[in-house]
Amino acid sequence: MITPLQAAILGIVEGITEFLPVSSTGHLILASKLMRMSGESVKSFEVIIQGGALAAVLGLYRHRIGQMWRGITGRDLAGRRLFLNLCISFLPAAIAGLLCHRFIKEYLFSTGAVILALAAGGVLMIAMDRYGKNGDCPCFLGSPLGEAEGTVPIFEMSHHQALLIGLAQVLSLWPGTSRSMVTILAALLLGLTPAAAAEYSFLLALPTLGAAVLFDAFQGGKELIGGISVGSFTIGVIVSALVAVVSIRSFLSYLTRHGLAPFGWYRIVLAVLVWIFVK
């Protein structure tokens, strides 16, 4: 059984890491191993606890969500465009997730797979951040990510850009890669401002993680019910939501001031420590 303390710890880990480019799934897997937690109920909880992070996005971006709702009903053209782009970005990962779900859970929810993804992602973030700072890549936006100022706000994204971000998001199905990392980097490369890239990544979490939570609840519901009490489940989700609110607000401020390289170095250091002490 997952205890209330274990659920709270996993909630803290999920809330902090879900929207940072460091891989929440990878951190949850590693945290579970450190607490000697195993079994299908733990794997399901590691996915379903993301519902708390989704609640944080719903609360913080309720005005943007309302704007998209007005777009669906034909009263806001910008809101409708954003809604359509999110749908386009969501589809590639949804299709790939359905096709590869069993393979991912069986072979990629492992310490070795997470270490590889953490290290590779860290090297990529450092290289791309440094490349942009040198002014060689005009698609990197704003200080300190690059010399050129971003020109594409969130409402001016094309459907083609949305599709490319969605294709990039497929990479995040590998635990340890980070959905936030691949979607933010893809958005930056496509010309979005850092703030717009981060916001789009947060909003894209709603359909992506929402579908993952519902799918895993359906697939692993029996194991989850047998492995966690209502109290522990509630604690984990609430803690995840509260911590995610703080994490989102802090990340937006940190990103505009420091760029992505510090997160890249963190990933590499974490990968080395896990390889030494956990594997």
Residue 5 token pair:
């303390």
**Nearest one of 9, 44, 40 to 27, comparing CA atoms:** 9
Report the distance separating Cα 194 and Cα 131, nearest Å: 16
Could you report the average pLDDT of every consecutive run of 10 residues in the chain (279 residues)? 90 92 84 83 79 92 94 92 96 91 79 89 88 50 38 82 96 89 90 86 92 76 69 91 92 80 92 81
129-138 core/surface letters (b: 16 or more CB in 10 A; e: else) = beebbeeebe
Residue 80 token pair:
């409708």
- pTM beyond 0.85: the answer is no
Measured in whole angstroms, the distance separating CA 118 from the mean position of its chain's CA atoms is 14
Model confidence pLDDT, tens digit, residues 214-270: 887 777 666 666 667 888 889 999 999 999 999 998 887 887 778 888 999 999 998
